[in-house]
Chains A and B, each alone.
Chain A
Amino acid sequence: MARAATTADTFNAVAEPRRREILEVLVAGERPVNDLVHVLGLAQPQVSKHLRVLREVGAVDVREDGRRRLYRLNGESLKPMHEWLKQFEQSWSERFEALDDVLDDLKQKEQGDGVGDE
Chain B
Amino acid sequence: MESVTSSGKAKVTLPTDEEILITREFDAPRHLVYRAWTTPELVMRWWSGHRGAMKIADIDLRVGGMWRYVMEANGGFEVAFHGEYREIVPDERIVTTEVFEGMPEVGEPALNTVTFTEADGRTTLELLSTVSSKEMRDMIIATGMEAGMQEQMDVLEELAISLR
Chain A contacts to B: CB under 8 angstroms: 1, 3-4, 6, 9, 11-12, 14-15, 17, 20, 23-24, 27, 73, 75-76, 78-79, 81-82, 84-85, 88-89, 91-104, 106-107, 110
Contact = CB atoms under 8 A, between A and B. Distances in A.
Interface string B129-150: 0000011011101101011110
Contact of B156 (A81, A92, A98): A81
Contacts of A75: 159-160, 162-163
Given A20-B155, A92-B12, A110-B32, 16 more contacts: A11-B147, A15-B137, A20-B149, A27-B158, A27-B159, A78-B152, A81-B152, A82-B156, A82-B157, A85-B147, A85-B148, A98-B45, A102-B36, A102-B42, A103-B26, A107-B28
Contacts, number: 134
Nearest to A76: B163
Contacts of B51: 91, 94
Contacts of B147: 11, 85, 88
Contacts of B47: 95, 98
Contacts of A92: 10, 12, 22, 24
